[in-house]
Amino acid sequence: MFLRCLLVPTAPGIDPTKRLDAALRLGRPLHAHIGVSFMAPGPEHVLAGMAGLVPMDCATIEAIERGVRESAAEAQAALRAWCAREGVAFGMSGGRLDATFATWTELSGEVEPLLTLAGRVSDLVIVDRPDPAHPFTGRALDTALFSVGRPTMMVGETVPYDLLDHVMIAWNGSLEATRLIGQSITLLHEAARVTVVHARTERFEEARAADLCGYLRWHGIVAEAATLDVGDGPSVGAAILAEAGRGDASMLALGAYTHSRVREFLLGGVTRHVVEHARIPVLMAH
């Protein structure tokens, strides 16, 4: 699967700079375009959440609409400034589709349906790690993983200058990890180094790292295999992140929520640990 359309969803009060940087560092080697979608609730959605707190009159609706317009204008100006700073064309230039450029769209409504539809006509959705102070970030990650059907990249604290320097794949043979590999072959082709790590758990013999390395070789990708000696449970996530740190991985790739989200929330799990603690970008699929 080619990765040509990278989606960066954003909203009022959200700074997308780190995600734009990540999109650019993927976009240039992949000849992909960066689509920035500004998603803001319409007056009806804002008022629904404020029912009984403010009068629902024309002045209130006007104030909400004006606030959204101002936020959108500020966000677009910030994107244009980023494009100028990074040497990225704003809007299509000369009709060339093999160049990296940024586009801007404004959408009104709830995050989930907007991001679902926009993500399904994109190849990769780039989101922030969930931040309780900004509910949009958690809603965006959940929607990207569970509703879009495309790979999701979560950007954490740092964005390595070369995202494709060393991609580390956490492999367990799950359906989720299999989907991710199938949807990311183009990206793995561009990586300078690929490592497949497999945690030695009670299901270790069901899927070996060497098998995936053999499959990747058929696609022209030479990958190293590594085994992590660790027990089952949340400690697997910590072991994977520690291995990524030791190997100076620039990106981690794993299937997300192999177990149910309820189980991971109650008992902990690999995905939950990685989402909460990963410093480098994480490529995921469910």
Q: Please tell us whether the domain made up of 167-285 is placed in CATH 3.40.50.620.
A: yes
Q: Is the pTM of this model over 0.85?
A: yes
DSSP character string of the chain: ----EEEEEE-TT---HHHHHHHHHHHHHHT-EEEEEEEE--HHHHHHHTTTTS--SHHHHHHHHHHHHHHHHHHHHHHHHHHHHHT-EES-STT-SSS-EEEEEEEES-HHHHHHHHHHTSSEEEEEPPBTTBHHHHHHHHHIIIII-S-EEEE-S---S-TTS-EEEE----HHHHHHHHH-HHHHHH-S-EEEEEE--TTGGGS-HHHHHHHHHHTT--EEEEEE---SSTHHHHHHHHHHHHTT-SEEEEES-SS-HHHHHHH--HHHHHHHH--S-EEEE-
> Residue ranges per domain, the chain?
5-152, 167-285
Average pLDDT over residues 177-185: 94
Q: Which fold has domain 5-152?
A: Rossmann fold (3.40.50)
Residue type, 128: D
Calculate the average pLDDT of the chain: 87
pLDDT band at 46 (very low <50, low <70, confident <90, very high): low
- In this predicted model, what pLDDT tens digit does every residue of 113-146 receive, in sequence order? 999 999 999 999 999 999 999 999 999 999 999 9
The answer to whether 285 and 253 have CB atoms below 8 angstroms apart is: no
- In this predicted model, what pLDDT tens digit does every residue of 219-235 receive, in sequence order? 999 999 998 887 555 58
pLDDT band at 171 (very low <50, low <70, confident <90, very high): very high
